Amino acid sequence: MSGLLDLVREDLRDFTGYKSARSESLQGGVWLNANESAWANPADAKATSRRYPDPQPAALRSALAGLYGCEESQLLIGRGSDEAIDLLVRALCNPGRDAVIVTPPVFGMYAVCARLQDAPVIEVPLRDGADGFVADLDAVAAMAVESNAKLVFLCSPSNPAGSAIPLAEIERLAERIEGKALLVVDEAYGEFSDLPSATTLQARQPNIAVLRTLSKAHALAAARIGVVIADAALIEVLRRCQAPYPVPTPCAELALAGLSPEALAETEKRVALIRSERARLQAALAGLPEVRHVYPSQGNYVLARFRDAESAFRSLLAAGVVVRDQRAAPQLGDALRITVGSPEQNDRVISALRRIEAAA
Ligand code: PMP
């Protein structure tokens, strides 16, 4: 896929990165090549952490490839999808020149990573209409073609807006920006969505990269395991730009256990519960006079507009419930984002908001 590698910074195309002790294919029973300790730490009961880890733990990589239905060569494990976002921006954007397109209101890390790389950020706002917030993909395509953009970030389901983008539209955008920019589809909340993953488009459109994470539906946010799924040659470039040992062994072990058939079956049940609780929470919110608008959501959260978002936020806090205040985000001056919790937690949200009505 030489066309795709043309999107990588020229100075990094043949960059070999750090050659760690673990990356050499040497054989032996006594490993004295990495200045590790000869003994495990007394607290390391299973003695799994004495030596540096495999940079891409093989068993986890294989389990993740199975989970997401891709080849192992198409997948890079990072410290959350946050790291994947950072790697993509660093590997593709020349500082001060190559831009990143984002669709606000949206997850903030795309712009943060761009800023750290001194890559200009171009905003193509979501449009608020009858179907909720929708990405203006014609405007995104036009902007990608006429600007120095190297990366387009789409969030689907979108955080915090809640909407997901139909695959046909993603494919069409990828076609329109081919040779110009990489289309990154962030599917952090993909498990909660009705729509299939954009990985199913990658065979036809290699300029699509997909981000997935174990932080949300799989309940492993603290393990910091996320992936980027993309063309194998691009994955190889990203791997060379990554820190030498990005996946700590205790995290890899926990993640692998979290992908066992039993754990996956439980995750699936919980996703189903969150989806039904999402509908219940949306219906309850929509029935409150205090709530001006409830957005459709394909994620594990609900975005709502309030007549007085400050007092709603305060009332929830007084009831011990912390939600995300979105009022500083563009177009969301009166909005809060509420993560869908357990049925009991959602009841608490609903009754705290009902109390405002009663007090008013
Ligand atoms: N993408 C989106 C849309 C998110 O909301 C988040 C976390 N809030 C992330 C990526 C990062 O997730 P992680 O680094 O935990 O994989």
Per-residue pLDDT of the chain (360 residues; tens, 9 = 90+): 448 999 999 999 989 998 887 777 788 889 999 999 999 999 999 999 999 999 999 999 999 999 999 999 999 999 999 999 999 999 999 999 999 999 999 999 999 999 999 999 999 999 999 999 999 999 999 999 999 999 999 999 999 999 999 999 999 999 999 999 999 999 999 999 999 999 999 999 999 999 999 999 999 999 999 999 999 999 999 999 999 999 999 999 999 999 999 999 999 999 999 999 999 999 999 999 999 999 999 999 999 999 999 999 999 999 999 999 999 999 999 999 999 999 999 999 999 999 887 676
Residue with tokens 């936020």: 313
Q: Based on C-alpha coordinates, what's the Rg of the chain?
A: 22
- Would you say 52 and 245 are in contact if contact means Cβ atoms under 8 Å apart? yes
CB of 279 within 6 A of ligand 1: the answer is no
CB of 188 within 6 A of ligand 1: the answer is yes
* Torsion sign (Cα): 284, 286, 288, 291: positive
pLDDT the model gives residue 116: 98
pLDDT the model gives residue 359: 72
pLDDT the model gives residue 1: 44
What is the spatial distance between Cα 70 and Cα 312, in angstroms, rounded to a whole number? Answer: 44
Cα–Cα distances (Å) from 84 to 67, 174, 180, in that order, read 18, 19, 20
- Would you say 229 and 68 are in contact if contact means Cβ atoms under 8 Å apart? yes
Query: Token pair of 81, please?
Result: 């999808």
Cα–Cα distances (Å) from 323 to 43, 189, 301, 357, in that order, read 37, 18, 10, 19
CB of 82 within 6 A of ligand 1: the answer is yes
- Would you say 160 and 185 are in contact if contact means Cβ atoms under 8 Å apart? no
CB of 81 within 6 A of ligand 1: the answer is yes
Nearest CA to ligand 1 atom 13: 80
For residue 158, the one-letter residue type is S
- Would you say 181 and 148 are in contact if contact means Cβ atoms under 8 Å apart? no
Q: In what order do the strands lie in the sheet with 324-325?
A: 291-294, 301-306, 335-339, 324-325
Look at residues 359, 282, 288 and name the one whose alpha carbon lies nearest to residue 319. Answer: 359
Strand partners, 79: 225
Cα–Cα distances (Å) from 94 to 42, 143, 146, 228, 283, in that order, read 46, 18, 17, 20, 47
pLDDT the model gives residue 360: 67
Nearest CA to ligand 1 atom 8: 107
Instruction: Give the count of beta carbons closer than 10 Å to the beta carbon of residue 29.
Output: 4
CB of 192 within 6 A of ligand 1: the answer is no
CB of 157 within 6 A of ligand 1: the answer is no
Which residues contact residue 339 at a Cβ distance below 8 angstroms, ignoring those fewer than 6 apart?
Answer: 300, 301, 323, 324
Strand partners, 294: 304
Ligand 1 center to 44 CA (angstroms): 30
The helix (H) or strand (E) run that includes residue 306 is strand 301-306
For residue 158, which atom of ligand 1 is closest to its CA?
A: 3
Asked, colleague to colleague, whether 2-259 and 263-359 share their fold, the answer is no
Tell me: domain 2-259, CATH 3.90.440.10, correct?
no
Q: Where are the domains of the chain?
A: 2-259, 263-359
Q: Which CATH number fits domain 263-359: 1.20.950.20, 3.90.1150.10, 3.40.50.300, 3.90.550.10?
A: 3.90.1150.10
Alpha helices in the chain (DSSP H): 2-5, 58-68, 80-92, 109-116, 137-146, 167-176, 232-241, 249-257, 261-286, 309-318, 343-359
Alpha helices in 147-260 (DSSP H): 167-176, 232-241, 249-257
- Would you say 313 and 325 are in contact if contact means Cβ atoms under 8 Å apart? yes
What is the spatial distance between Cα 88 and Cα 52, in angstroms, rounded to a whole number? Answer: 25
pLDDT the model gives residue 263: 98
CB of 215 within 6 A of ligand 1: the answer is yes
CB of 107 within 6 A of ligand 1: the answer is yes
If one residue of 159, 212, 228, 337 were mutated to test the ligand 1 pocket, choosing by the most ligand atoms within 8 A of its CB, it would be 159
